[in-house]
Amino acid sequence: MLESNIYNIDRNFDYTTVKSIVLKSLKIAKEETLKKRAYVSQDAVCDFKDNLYPNDVKLFAPPTPLLKSKIRNTTKYLTWRLLILKRDNFTCKICHASVKENKGLRVDVHHAKTFDDICNENVVSTVEQALECKELWDLKNGISICYRCHKDIEKLRTKLRNMFILRHIGKI
């Protein structure tokens, strides 16, 4: 199926090829996420949020890993991802590494505004709601970046978010 050049840059894609590439990438990302993630019960998350924002009625819970996986397996997501990769010429927009130059390079598509934040703001709790959410599929909100840069961005984003939370509850 996919031999030396796993992205087959010089040819047109058919749906099954694109789907196999994306699913392989998602499977790797899912495995890495599950290894790192400490599962917290939904009640504990709500209690934490209630203490963090006592004046808010209730904050919407972030989408579950299962819902995210279902959304990422839709044709609309695969198309969105492929359009961004093609627009950015399968090149990391941070370090400028290219799939053409580095055959083993894994290029991800990153939401500049986080997937969770978009789902929270638009109250997305089902795949159908996600498919109707225009902000989730905005091409301006996506960027092609290599795995290493994506990992660095997520570490920085988490650090900044944690600093904001600690400052908000008065620990800093």
Residue 8 lies in a domain: no
Q: Assess if residue 6 is contained within a domain.
A: no
Residue 101 lies in a domain: yes
Rounded CA separation 164/159 (Å):
9
**Residue 8 CA from chain centroid, whole number:** 23
pLDDT tens per residue across span 92-119? 999 999 888 887 788 999 988 888 889 8
Element (H, E) at 107: strand 107-111
Mean pLDDT for 54-62 is: 49
Q: Count the Cβ atoms, other than its own, within 10 Å of residue 53.
A: 13
Q: If you average pLDDT over residues 108-131, what whole number do you get?
A: 89
Phi, psi torsion values for 110, nearest 5 degrees: -115, 135
Cβ 58 vs Cβ 45: under 8 Å? no
Q: How many domains does the chain have?
A: 1
Has residue 91 been placed in a domain?
yes
Q: Is residue 167 part of a domain?
A: no
Give the lowest-confidence range in 64-68, 75-79, 132-136. 64-68
* Cα gap 2→89, rounded to integer Å: 19
pLDDT score recorded for residue 164: 74
- Give residue 50's pLDDT band: very low, low, confident or very high (50, 70, 90): very low
- List the domain range (segments joined by +) for residue 104: 15-147
Rounded-to-integer distance, Cα 67 and Cα 98, Å: 31
pLDDT at 56: 43
Q: How confident is the model at residue 48 (pLDDT cuts 50, 70, 90)?
A: very low
Q: Which residues lie across from 146 on neighbouring strands?
A: 107
From residue 8, give the alpha-carbon distance in Å to each of 51, 76, 81, 106: 51, 21, 15, 13
pLDDT, one tens digit per residue, over 11-47 is 565 667 666 666 676 666 666 555 554 444 344 444 4
DSSP 3: -
The answer as to whether 163 is a domain residue is no
Instruction: Please determine, for residue 160, whether its predicted confidence score (pLDDT) is greater than 70.
Output: yes
Residue 9 lies in a domain: no
Cα–Cα dist 163/172, whole Å: 8
The reply to whether 160 falls in a domain is: no
